[in-house]
A and B are shown apart, each in its own frame.
Chain A
Amino acid sequence: MSAERIWQRFTPAERMARFVVFLVAGILLAWSFRTVEIIPEFLMDAPEQVADLFKRMWPVDYAYYERGVHAVLIETLHIATVGTIMTLGIAIPVGIMAASNVCRVPALNWLATFILVSSRSVNTLVWALLFVAVFGPGTLAGTVTIAVRSIGFVGKLFGEALEESAPGPIEALRAAGAPWISVFLKGYWPQVSPAFWGIALFRWDINVRESSVIGLVGAGGIGMALDEALNLFHWDRVALILVCIFAVVVIAEVFVTHIRKRII
């Protein structure tokens, strides 16, 4: 008769480690409660403030749309679209350089990683501030902001899609004596093109949202109208602009989802 054989999900060492992690998390939570400095008056006051804000926003000033919103709304879409197209032109070569199975030069892999990380590590608004300083306020600064900021996103995901592509067909084309570019065009690209267009559309969707904010620092688009309305306490116009941004984002989302389904 053998003893009962016991099975447990975690080894004793793993159980100990998990206990320590939970304990530390608990201590950190308790500690942060003591230092968070919430002013009780302001917290209690919040519902009243929100109600007041909504009262001032109502009724929404729809009449202002024609005069002050339509043009900048279209401008916002232009910034997002042109910015995304510019990104694709740069993200494709950078993504290829980043994929270690396609580009076998470690120095280029590092360069690509550097470009991708720099693009993503700086916030959109900070990029916008930089480019407003370079190009002056307006759509050019906004478009370049969107383009530069998106390279990291599109390039990284495109590079990862390339790295995940099946090696078999690549091997077959190399065995047939195909030059590098042909191997890419006929081996890699057919495998990654659905992913690539999916990523591009997804980024455009994000860029529609981002480009409606960068106007706050002067980089063109509907954000500039929002900034003006906020500064002048035209809450009914602020409401209109928020409604417009919301509508555009929802429409973009629906549009992108529909197209992505058809691609994949």
Chain B
Amino acid sequence: MHKATESASNSRRPACSAGDKSLVVENLRKEYTRGKPVLKNINLTVAGQCTTAIIGPSGTGKSTLLRCINRLIEPTSGRILVSGQDICTLRGADLRAARRRIGMVFQEYNLVERLSVMENVLCGRLGYISPWRAWLRKFPQQDIERAYDLLDMVGLTEFARARADELSGGQRQRVGIARAVMQQPHILLADEPTSSLDPKTSVEIMELLREVASVNDIPVLVNIHDVTLGRRFADRVVGMSKGDVVFDGVPGDLTDEHLKLIYGGEDWLA
């Protein structure tokens, strides 16, 4: 392990433990081609209402890590426990049931453009209802009420009937967050949620993610390449470089030395 990591882990750790909703990643390894690991040996535990920012250069495996957690990408080896359940061994219906507990927010929002905002939010319930009911749009009343509550929370109630492709980027991301929360997840993953947004909207989205964490009492894991933004909003920062975790600590402990280690070079720091 790098020295920087040790010093960081020996120092203050954010108060992110406790809480029954948690994520534990143990010895996670992912190779797309044999012998060339993208993720080498990732160990990570998040719990409570903690917002964790994962920073690191492009191509270092941040997206792969998040997609391994909900098995959109198959890990090569290691264990991933969501609220105590190992999801790496699950298949079929069990895997889908486990995915319901992992909400995900995407850089490009990934809304179904031609469906209404309301229907996009209700899509978060597709893991709970039968395809037959989904086809007939027979969502349980409590789901519909919850969807309205979430639209209230993200401030888009008046857009419920609008089509998703009529919204601006920031509004779409809010819908994306509402859809993820609709799953009643135990953990929320956000893959570069602000990279396609302007600075002001980015801040609003980060604030919203923090609010989601505290209101729902769940940990949030955010991939972010804007270090300043990540530092400002995260309780904890995980720095990745070349498939390894090289920093793990509170934002205050993240020094320029660490950033050099994570991103390489130093000219950009000036």
Residues of A within 8 A of B126 (CB): 173, 176-179, 182-183, 186
Task: Write out the residue numbers on chain B whose beta carbons fall within 8 Å of the beta carbon of A234.
Answer: none
Task: Specify the main secondary structure of chain A where it touches its partner.
Answer: helix
**CB pair A177 B100 closer than 8 Å:** yes
Q: Contacts A171-B106, A175-B70, A177-B127; is A187 near B100 (CB within 8 Å)?
A: no
In the bound complex, do residue A172 and residue B104 qualify as a contact, i.e. CB atoms below 8 Å apart? Answer: yes
Contacts of A70 in B (CB 8 A): none
- Interface mask (B117-137 → A, CB under 8 Å = 1, otherwise 0): 001000111111101001100
Best-buried of B96, B113, B126 by chain A (most CB within 10 Å): B126
The chain B residue sitting closest to A174, CB to CB, is B72
Interface string of B54-83 (1 = CB under 8 A from A): 000000000000000010100000000000
In the complex, A93 has a CB within 8 A of chain B: no
Q: Is B217 an interface residue (CB 8 A)?
A: no
Pair B134/A177 contact, Cβ less than 8 Å: no
B72 CB contact (under 8 Å) in A166, A171, A181, A190: A171
User: Does chain B have a CB within 8 A of A51?
Assistant: no
Q: How far is the CA of A183 from the CA of B95 in the complex (A)?
A: 15
A166 partner residues in chain B, CB cutoff 8 A: 113
Q: A181–B130 Cα gap in the complex (Å)? A: 9
Count B interface residues, CB 8 Å. Answer: 36
Interface size grouping (class) on chain A: 20 to 34
| B-chain residues with CB within 8 Å of residue A194 when the two chains form the complex | 114
Of the candidates B111, B115, B127, which one forms a contact with A176 in the assembled complex, judged by CB atoms under 8 Å apart?
B127
| Chain B residues positioned under 8 Å from A193 (CB to CB) | 114
Give, as a whole number of angstroms, the nearest-CB distance from A164 to chain B.
Answer: 14
Q: A176-B179, A176-B183 are in contact. Are A185 and B110 (CB under 8 A)?
A: no
Query: Do A187 and B131 have beta carbons less than 8 Å apart?
Result: no
- Give the CA-CA distance A172 to B129 in the complex, in Å: 16
Q: Is B98 an interface residue (CB 8 A)?
A: yes
B110 contacts A172, C-beta separation under 8 Å: yes
B99 at the interface (CB under 8 A from A): yes
Q: Which A180-205 residues sit within 8 Å CB-CB of chain B?
A: 181-183, 185-187, 190-191, 193-194
Distance in angstroms between the alpha carbons of A179 and B112 in the assembled complex: 16
Tell me if B134 and A182 are in contact (CB < 8 A).
yes
In the complex, how many angstroms separate the beta carbon of B178 from the nearest chain A beta carbon?
A: 12
How far is it, in angstroms, between the C-alpha of A171 and the C-alpha of B97 when the chains are bound? 16
- Picked from B95, B111, B131, the residue with its CB within 8 Å of the CB of A169 is B111
* Complexed CA–CA distance, A166 and B110 (Å): 9
* Residue of A171, A176, A178, A181 with most chain B CB atoms under a 10 A cut-off: A176
Q: With A174-B72, A175-B104, A177-B127 in contact, do A168 and B99 touch (Cβ < 8 Å)? A: no
Q: A171-B106, A190-B112 are in contact. List 9 more A-B contacts (CB 8 A).
A: A166-B113, A171-B110, A172-B111, A172-B176, A177-B99, A179-B126, A185-B134, A186-B112, A186-B134
Interface residues of A (CB under 8 A from B): 166, 168-169, 171-179, 181-183, 185-187, 190-191, 193-194
